[in-house]
Structure 1
């Protein structure tokens, strides 16, 4: 096993650090081991080990819509349904949980 003697310094948001370290602690994984695993995955994948991209569309904040805008959004949804562009609720909720860490 290689000697661990290199250091990595990074500035991150305190709440992100706290939340991540809480999860790692529950898993019994020290932060340094998690970072080492992350780096090894970067090497194995020859890039980031997860997809990094902007979402294709942002969710609509219905609380900020006027009545006309809300009606337009409902019409779009109805048109999608009529055209067969639908998904099961189970699939949609699974994606929401994944995308928003719920």
Structure 2
């Protein structure tokens, strides 16, 4: 199939850099990745992964986390796992 259509998108430069690093490891170009994504949208007849609006509890938790509120802290990862195993 002929590739003649052009897409332009404004992307956060850091997101683009990180994606390019990953795609490079996969030996894919950004254009190939975007084409793959668009093909998956066509095959799935929608976005190829679940997208949903978080419930109120999740929204509040995300906002609190971003603001540094109500965070649980431990001194070490081992302490965290010990607490989780209780």
TM-score range, shorter chain: 0.5 to 0.7
- In angstroms, what is the RMSD of aligned CA positions? 2.0
Greater Cα radius of gyration, structure 1 or 2:
1
Segments of 5+ residues of structure 1 without an aligned counterpart are 66-88, 90-102
Q: Give TM-score, length-normalised by structure 1.
A: 0.56
**Which structure ranks higher in relative contact order (CA pairs < 8 Å, sequence separation ≥ 6)?**
2
Alignment match, 1:47: 46
| Shift >2 Å, 4+ stretches | 58-61
Alignment match, 1:23: 22
Count of residue pairs the alignment pairs up: 65
Segments of 5+ residues of structure 2 without an aligned counterpart are 71-83
Alignment match, 2:69: 64
In the alignment, the residues of structure 2 paired with residue 41 and residue 5 of structure 1 have an alpha-carbon distance, to the nearest angstrom, of 19
